[in-house]
């Protein structure tokens, strides 16, 4: 089988995830390259390891650049820390005022607290970067390569984490508002209220895209090994709980050759796992990718993978 439906006009965001080393980056790039033949495509890496540069053999970085050799493909490697630091600098005043007006912390404590991370905020900032791109509408397709499963799950649960934080902050503000109202008889929303409201809007924007089954699709990448199957099952369960669309799985590194003793043994060893994958994930479109003799690096190798993924 081949990957299906990625050309649907409404489908904007395609996210690849899975266990470490199973082929997420290779598959994300090969998919982005295939889509770029018909659609203006942006490949986004949220993996701090940034192997997209290595795989494409081109320096990418935290700035959109054209991918050499693919006319309609651009790429960016999002640096969560940098995105967060831009956010903190831009909203330092609001964050400081929020803490000053809502807590008994002194200035030093407040500075300490600001340097600590709001839970999920760096992932939210990564995602905000993606959503900002989508909302600008410059591209038809956004293909996201993530770091191993834990990271993808944090990315997905980040809006909820941030939402919880906003609720606590809003509660603290409520007390402040109550005090101001009791003393002055009225309360005018200030820049901190606007900041929290905008943050809430960001959470909603992320959720609206992530949970929209026609706009977003998550593609888990798996290999025929026990640990990877377990992790894929957990990933799919979490995606389902979060209401995120997943309808196909890539099964990578499948041994097809009978050409040597090692290949025959490897193939036989994979057989029960492939059967398990078929029975566990029978509802999903499963795309098997053979184990290539060479690593997937550079345009030629990526094109070979594209051919397999898209038939
Ligand atoms: N089908 C394949 N045949 C041969 N080599 C492969 C295949 N798929 C991936 N590889 C190689 O395996 C390595 C890991 O692949 P890749 O970087 O795509 O995985 P990943 O899931 O993104 O890893 P990470 O979790 O570290 O981000 C790379 O060297 C890649 O070239
Ligand atoms: Mg990777």
Q: Write out residues with Cβ below 6 Å of ligand 1.
A: 20-26, 47, 49, 51, 147-148, 252-253, 289, 291-292, 295-297
Among all bound ligands, the one having the nearest atom to the CA of 23 is: 1
Bigger pLDDT: 181 or 111?
Answer: 181
pTM to 2 decimals?
Answer: 0.89
CB count within 10 Å of CB 258 equals 9
Q: How confident is the model at residue 236 (pLDDT cuts 50, 70, 90)?
A: very high
Within a domain: residue 92? Answer: no
Taking the centre of ligand 2 as the mean of its atom positions, its distance from the CA of residue 162, in whole angstroms, is: 25
Among all bound ligands, the one having the nearest atom to the CA of 291 is: 1
Within a domain: residue 4? Answer: no
CATH code of the domain containing 133: 3.40.50.300
Q: Name which of 113-117, 129-133, 137-141 the model is least confident about.
A: 113-117
Q: How confident is the model at residue 249 (pLDDT cuts 50, 70, 90)?
A: very high
Among all bound ligands, the one having the nearest atom to the CA of 221 is: 1
Please, which residues have CB within 8 angstroms of residue 263's CB and are 6 or more apart in sequence? Answer: 255, 257
Within a domain: residue 64? Answer: yes
Within a domain: residue 61? Answer: yes
pLDDT of residue 17: 94
Taking the centre of ligand 2 as the mean of its atom positions, its distance from the CA of residue 210, in whole angstroms, is: 21
User: To test the ligand 1 pocket, which listed residue (17, 20, 21, 49) has its Cβ within 8 A of the most ligand atoms?
Assistant: 21
Locate the ligand 1 atom nearest the alpha carbon of residue 294 and give its number.
Answer: 4
Q: Stretch 108-121: mean pLDDT, rounded?
A: 62
pLDDT of residue 15: 95
Structure tokens at 19: 């266990």
Within a domain: residue 263? Answer: yes
Q: How confident is the model at residue 116 (pLDDT cuts 50, 70, 90)?
A: low
pLDDT of residue 117: 57
pLDDT tens digits for range 73-114: 999 999 888 887 888 888 888 888 887 777 666 666 656 665
Q: Stretch 32-58: mean pLDDT, rounded?
A: 93
Within a domain: residue 31? Answer: yes
Cα distances (Å, whole numbers) of residue 69 to 7, 9, 58, 262: 21, 24, 11, 36
Among all bound ligands, the one having the nearest atom to the CA of 19 is: 1
User: To test the ligand 1 pocket, which listed residue (17, 18, 22, 23) has its Cβ within 8 A of the most ligand atoms?
Assistant: 23
pLDDT of residue 128: 81
Taking the centre of ligand 2 as the mean of its atom positions, its distance from the CA of residue 22, in whole angstroms, is: 8
Within a domain: residue 1? Answer: no
Please, which residues have CB within 8 angstroms of residue 37's CB and are 6 or more apart in sequence? Answer: 72
- Cβ–Cβ under 8 Å, residues 171 and 55: no
Within a domain: residue 266? Answer: yes
- The domain total for the chain is 1
CB count within 10 Å of CB 105 equals 13
User: To test the ligand 1 pocket, which listed residue (26, 227, 305) has its Cβ within 8 A of the most ligand atoms?
Assistant: 26
Domain that residue 66 falls in? 13-83+119-310
Q: Residues with Cβ within 5 Å of ion ligand 2? A: 24-25, 51
């Amino acid at each position: 089988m081949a990957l299906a439906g990625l050309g649907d006009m409404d489908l904007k965001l395609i996210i690849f995830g899975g266990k470490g080393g199973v082929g997420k980056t290779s598959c994300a790039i090969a998919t982005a390259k295939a889509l770029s033949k018909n659609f203006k495509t942006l490949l986004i890496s949220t993996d701090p390891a940034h192997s997209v540069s290595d795989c494409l053999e081109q320096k990418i970085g935290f700035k959109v650049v054209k991918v050499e050799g693919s006319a309609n493909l651009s790429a960016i490697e999002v640096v969560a820390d940098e995105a967060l630091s831009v956010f903190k600098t831009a909203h330092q005043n609001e964050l400081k005022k929020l803490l000053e007006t809502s807590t008994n912390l002194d200035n030093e404590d407040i500075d300490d607290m600001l340097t600590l991370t709001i839970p999920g905020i760096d992932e939210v900032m990564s995602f905000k970067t993606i959503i900002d791109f989508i909302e600008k509408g410059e591209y038809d397709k956004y293909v996201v390569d993530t770091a191993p499963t834990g990271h993808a799950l944090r990315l997905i649960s980040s809006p909820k984490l941030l939402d919880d934080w906003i609720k606590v902050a809003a509660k603290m503000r409520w007390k402040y508002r109550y005090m101001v109202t009791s003393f002055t008889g009225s309360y005018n929303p200030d820049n901190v209220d606007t900041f929290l409201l905008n943050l809430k809007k960001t959470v909603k924007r992320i959720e609206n895209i992530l949970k929209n089954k026609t706009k977003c699709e998550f593609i888990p990448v798996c290999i025929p090994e026990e640990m990877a199957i377990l992790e894929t099952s957990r990933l799919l369960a979490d995606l389902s709980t979060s209401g995120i669309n997943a309808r196909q799985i890539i099964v990578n590194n499948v041994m097809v050759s009978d050409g040597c003793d090692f290949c025959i043994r490897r193939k036989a060893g994979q057989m029960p796992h492939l059967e398990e994958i078929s029975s566990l994930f029978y509802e999903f479109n499963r795309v098997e990718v053979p184990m290539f003799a060479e690593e997937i690096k550079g345009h030629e190798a990526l094109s070979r993978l594209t051919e397999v993924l898209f038939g």
